[in-house]
Amino acid sequence: MKKEYIRLNELIKLIELIEYKNGVLVAVKKIKIGSLGVDIILYVVVGLFALACLYPFVYVLSSSITPYEDYLKAPMSIIPRNVILDAYYSVLSFPLIQSGYKVTVFVTILGTFINLLLLITSAYPLSKKDLKGRRIILGFIIFTMFFNGGLIPNYYLVRSLKLLNSVWALILPGAISPFNLILMKSFISQIPDSLEESAVIDGANEIRILANIIIPLSTPAIATFALFHAVGHWNSFFSAVIYLNKRSSWPLMLVLRELVIENAVFEVGQIGVDLTVVTPFTIKMATIAVAIIPIMLVYPFLQRFFMKGLLLGAIKG
């Protein structure tokens, strides 16, 4: 590697690093030393903001494994002196938490699959410029983004479809998002037409083109929308409040809402824990941790697709 330095200017100090490989210019990197102070300030501000976002999660985890007596001595501490897991044992043995987990996992997996299936199969034909009535269909889709029937008509619709007190009431009413559909259509429109034309010449039909060309090339966008829908299903509770009356059908977030917000703490003494160690506050913190940790563990596996999918769906060309 060969580096050539040019003279530093008094106002803007610029270093030009030129890298050669086998006599060929490989990379040119420009660094403005004068802006180093600004970069340091930006890194510090972003770092502090990241710590501020991370602190609530660490606080919840620390409070859930800290004895209540230690918590009262140092309420703002995030480093527990003693670690106990009794609160997690009590939470995971509570029947309503167990049923809520089952419902939430089922709704998240099946709901996300249905969302992606309808999203891909709807966006692909709408990406075809020669589709008859394409503008009219897109107009109807955009219309639904600004106008809807409201809560009461939606409730009557779900009731007329006999979906009340069913997990399908949490999946089917929001099976497809118009905004995500438009983004997915824009993403697929960027795929070169020559790839599809070559597949048609080889005898491929539309289903095979969708399965073997469109879906593999749309992996970043699909992963991004999968994360959006999965997080939405996992955190959803309002639809359950409206459509579900049976407590055994409640999703996890509705159980968490009743436990934390409504202060409906279950009887701790009935599940064999020490009331002097595990208190309603500790159980609330453990319940919050149990509810948020699984969906947080999914993000690292999709993070590499996340920004790429967002940018490619919004940039033309």
pLDDT band, residue 15 (cuts 50/70/90): very low
Q: Are residues 154 and 191 in the same domain?
A: yes
Domain housing 63: 37-84
Q: How many CB atoms lie within 10 A of CB 124?
A: 20
Mean pLDDT of 53-59: 86
pLDDT of 296 > 60? The answer is: yes
pLDDT surpassing 60 at residue 101: yes
**Which tens digit of pLDDT belongs to each residue from 210-241?**
888 888 888 888 888 888 899 889 988 888 88
Tell me if 207 is assigned to some domain: yes
**Residue 224 and residue 301 in one domain:** yes
Q: Find the range with the poorest average confidence among 14-28, 37-51, 81-95.
A: 14-28
Tokens read off for 36: 């180093």
pTM to 2 decimal places: 0.75
pLDDT the model gives residue 212: 86
Same-domain status, 100 and 171 = yes
Mean pLDDT lowest among 11-20, 21-30, 195-204: 11-20
Distance in angstroms (rounded) separating the CA atoms of residues 263 and 248: 19
CATH at residue 196: 1.10.3720.10
Is 21 among the domain residues? no
Is residue 15 assigned to a domain? no
Q: Are residues 78 and 152 in the same domain?
A: no
Check whether residue 235 and residue 199 sit in a common domain. Answer: yes
- Residue 305's Cα: distance from chain center in Å? 12
Number of domains observed in the structure of the chain: 2
Write down which residue in 66, 84, 102 finishes a domain.
Answer: 84
Q: Do 97 and 69 fall within a single domain?
A: no
Pair 48, 114 in one domain: no
Domain identity same for 80 and 112: no
Q: 190 and 75, same structural domain?
A: no
User: CB within 8 A of 159, min separation 6: which ones?
Assistant: none
280 located within any domain: yes
Q: Quick check: is 22 in a domain? A: no
pLDDT value, residue 111: 93
Q: Is the pLDDT of residue 109 over 90?
A: yes
Q: Which of 240, 215, 247, 111 is closest to 163 using CA atoms? A: 240
Q: Of 8-12, 153-157, 166-170, 260-264, which range is least confident?
A: 8-12
Q: Where in the chain does DSSP place strands (E)?
A: 14-21, 24-32
Q: Are residues 266 and 306 in the same domain?
A: yes
Instruction: Examine residue 112 and state whether it is found in any structural domain, yes or no.
Output: yes
DSSP secondary structure, the chain, as one string: ------PPPSSS-EEEEEEEETTEEEEEEEEEGGGHHHHHHHHHHHHHHHHHHHHHHHHHHHHHTS-HHHHHH-TT--S-SS---HHHHHHHT-HHHHHHHHHHHHHHHHHHHHHHHHHHHHHHHHT-TT-TTHHHHHHHHHHHHH----HHHHHHHHHHTT-TTSGGGGTSTTS--HHHHHHHHHHHHTS-HHHHHHHHHTT--HHHHIIIIIHHHTHHHHHHHHHHHHHHHHH--HHHHHH---GGG--HHHHHHHHHTS-----GGGGT--TTTS-HHHHHHHHHHHHHHHHHHHHHHHHHHHHHHHHHTTS--
Same domain, 67 and 191: no
317: confidence class by pLDDT, cuts 50, 70, 90: very low
Is 2 inside any structural domain? no
- The answer to whether residue 297 is domain-embedded is yes
Whether 205 and 94 map to the same domain: the answer is: yes
